[in-house]
Amino acid sequence: MDPVLLKTSIITNNKASLPTQISRTLRRADEITNLCVAASYLTLNNYNDIITKYSTPEERSIVISTRFGPIETNFRYLDTIFDFGESQGSPTLFSHSVHNTASGYISRIFNFKGPIYTISSYSYPLIKALLTAITLLKQDLTKLVLVIETETKSNLLNNGIKDLLSIKDFSTFSYSIAWLLTNQTELVNNTGLVFNNISLEDLSSYKPIYNLFSDIILEYQNKIEYINSYQLSIKLSKYLEKSFYEDTENIYFKINSNIGIAKGEIYKYKKEVLQ
């Protein structure tokens, strides 16, 4: 079966209502980890029983993508060195300043023991994670992948990038998007979305590679819309909530920027039901 998107969730603050057991595990975690775990929880919540029934922990995977990773956690670690001396840096902050800390938390909390990856890219982080997830699923290296894109707000970056590019508007904000994909019919309730013919081409050699603006161009219902990956998640979430039998056109998307092109198409998955 082609990989199917089952659910998407979005979170923009780390004050999500989580079960006590998860909150306890997160008591030392930094903002980016909290965001990623909360988005994972929202995404997996209604699927726990079916996931447990039809997949082993070793068949569940995680791909996290980010442009900047836990950059603010790294600054907090530096604060402890500047304030207290080189030998007195906080080991907790240091261990959370590593890019793949969030994936470790998620694998532990939700019992995912398959491949886990953290990717960093200034261009198309979500599409790169999606491409990785789809490749793992198509190669039968896993049955279920949690794909996450995440960033945290950094005033240092916001100001630095505005100064560097001489622009007025640039602002990072804190969020996590989580997408759940599978290649198993049993894991699909009724509806799903299939990503087809995804291709990705970076073109760093032809343009300055520090250009961060990459707009997703969606073509559907004879309309063209410019959105980002956060807005794409909201749109797909609504699309997934619609009645499966409602006749909706397929979506074609193109992600275009000065540093490359990603494109593909999204169509509805119809679960074959034996009469």
Under DSSP, is residue 15 helix (H, G, I), strand (E, B) or coil?
Answer: coil
200 binds other proteins (CB under 8 A): yes
Q: Kindly state whether residue 136 participates in binding other proteins, applying the rule CB under 8 A.
A: yes
* 64 close to 148: Cβ distance less than 8 angstroms: yes
40 part of the interface to other proteins, by CB under 8 A? no
Rounded to a whole number of angstroms, the minimum distance from the CB of residue 142 to other proteins is 10
Contacts with other proteins in 41-60 (CB under 8 A)?
57-58
Q: Which stretch binds other proteins (CB under 8 A): 2-10, 65-73, 231-239, 244-252?
A: 65-73
> What are the angstrom distances between the C-alpha of 98 and each of 2, 34, 41, 85?
33, 14, 22, 21
Q: Which of residues 153-172 bind other proteins (CB under 8 A)?
A: 156-157, 159-161, 163-164
65: enclosing H helix or E strand: strand 60-66
Residue for token digits 């997703």? Answer: 216
| DSSP labels, 151-191 | E---HHHHHHHHHHHT-S------EEEEEEEES-GGG--SE
By three-state DSSP, how is residue 256 classified?
Answer: strand
97 vs 174 by CB, closer to other proteins: 97
Return the number of the residue (127 or 236) whose C-beta is nearest other proteins.
Answer: 127
228 binds other proteins (CB under 8 A): no
Q: SS3 of 269, please?
A: strand
| Sole window of 3-11, 78-86, 143-151, 216-224 interacting with other proteins (rule: CB under 8 A) | 78-86
Identity at 204, one-letter amino acid code: S
- Taking CB under 8 A as the binding criterion, the range among 10-18, 79-87, 186-194, 249-257 that sits at the site for other proteins is 79-87
